[in-house]
Amino acid sequence: MRVFHSIRAAALVLLAGGGLLAAGGTASARTAVAITGGVTPTITGFPARPKNVRLTLSGRMIGDDVEGMFPATSTRMVWWFTHGARVNGRYFRYCDPKRLAAVRGNPKACPKGSRIGGGWVVATAISVTARVKIDVYNGKGGKSMIFYFSTQRPVVINDMIVAPFQTLSGGRYGFKLTMRIPPSLQELSPGMVTSVRDFTATVGGMSVNAKVGRRTEKRGFIETMACPPGALVTARGQFSFRTIAPITVDSYLGCGQAPPFPPGFPPSQLGSA
C-alpha cells in the first residue's frame, strides 16, 4: 500500500509557495498562520519492510494588532497527520513527566532512548523576544508526547506539557496530536501577553530492538513504506487563541524537503519585535 501521495507540479502553484495559510480575527486585528515540514530520508523503489524516518514540522504566525504587529496569543495547537505511517512509541522507553518537572527538565530524569526529538519556538512580548528550546520525550505506552520548554535568557522558562497522541481509524487522517500551549509561552512574565511567532520540531529517526510476538525486531519510532523524492504528504493544524476564533490550516509536508513558506511569512529575528 502506498503511504504518501504525489501531487502534480500544478498543485504547487495553489500552495502559494508551498505552505498553505489561513487568517482569522476581527477587522481591527488579524492573525495568519502558515505551516510546512518534511519527511526524511526519502524512500525510493519498493522496500520489503517499512523504513525509519524523521518528521520535521514548522510554523509561522504573523499579525497586525495595535500592540506592535504581533499575532494573537496561542492557547492550543492540534495536529492531524495522514494515514500510512507507523508510529511505534509503545516499543520505546518512556519518560515520567513528574520526574522531569521535578528536576526542571534535566534529561537525566528520563531513561536513555526516551528522548524522541527536539526543536525551538520563538515568542515575543512587547519588546522581549525569546528563543526557547524544546525537548520531546516519549510518553507512557506511546500514547502521549512530552514537550519540555526551556531558556535562560532574556527570561527564565522551564515549562512542560503532556500532549495526547491518538491513532485514528477512518476519515482523512491517521494520527492526532493535541498540544496546550504552556503558561510561560502565553505570558513571558505575569501580565506580559506573548505571541508565538515561529517554531520547528523534529521527531523520529531513532530505533530500538523490540519484542514483537516471539521475535525481536528493530523498529523505528516512525516508519513508512513510501516517501519518494518530491512527493507531498497532507497535514492539518488547528490553532486556538485567547482573543480570536480558531484558525485551521491545511497544508503539505514534503518528502526530502519542506515546501517553502508563502511570501509574507519571514523568519523571526531575535532582538527585535
pLDDT tens figures, 185-219? 999 988 899 999 999 999 999 999 998 888 999 99
pLDDT at 271: 56
Judge whether residue 107 has pLDDT over 70: yes
Q: Are the C-beta atoms of residues 201 and 253 closer than 8 Å to each other?
A: no
Residue 272, in any domain of the structure:
no
Count the Cβ atoms, other than its own, within 10 Å of residue 9: 8
Residue 219, in any domain of the structure:
yes
Q: Are the C-beta atoms of residues 251 and 35 closer than 8 Å to each other?
A: yes
pLDDT at 16: 37
Q: Are the C-beta atoms of residues 231 and 4 closer than 8 Å to each other?
A: yes
pLDDT of 131-187, one tens digit each? 999 999 999 999 999 999 999 999 999 999 999 999 998 889 999 999 999 999 999
Instruction: Report how many domains make up the chain.
Output: 1
Q: Are the C-beta atoms of residues 250 and 236 closer than 8 Å to each other?
A: yes
Cell 523503489 belongs to 45
Q: Kindly report the three-state secondary structure assignment for every residue of the chain.
A: CCCCECCCHHHHHHCCCCCCEEEEEECCEEEEEEEEEEEECCECCCCCCCEECEEEEEEEEEECCCCCCCCCCEEEEEEEEECCCEECHHHCCCCCHHHHHHCCCCHHHCCCCCEEEEEEEEEEECCEEEEEEEEEEECHHHCEEEEEEEECCCCCEEEEEEEEEEECCCCCEEEEEEEECCHHHCECCCCCECEEEEEEEEEECCEEEEEECCEEEEEECEEECCECCCCEEEEEEEEEECCCCCEEEEEEEEECCCCCCCCCCCCCCCCCC
Residue 180, in any domain of the structure:
yes
Confidence band for 69, pLDDT divided at 50, 70 and 90: low
pLDDT at 170: 84
For residue 87 the three cell numbers come to: 508510529
Identify the domain containing residue 52 by its residue range: 9-255
pLDDT at 70: 85
Residue 2, in any domain of the structure:
no
Residue 247, in any domain of the structure:
yes
18 or 110, higher pLDDT: 110
Residue 266, in any domain of the structure:
no
Confidence band for 5, pLDDT divided at 50, 70 and 90: very low
Judge whether residue 34 has pLDDT over 70: yes
Residue 268, in any domain of the structure:
no
pLDDT at 196: 95
Residue 267, in any domain of the structure:
no
pLDDT of 111-137, one tens digit each? 999 999 999 999 998 878 999 999 999
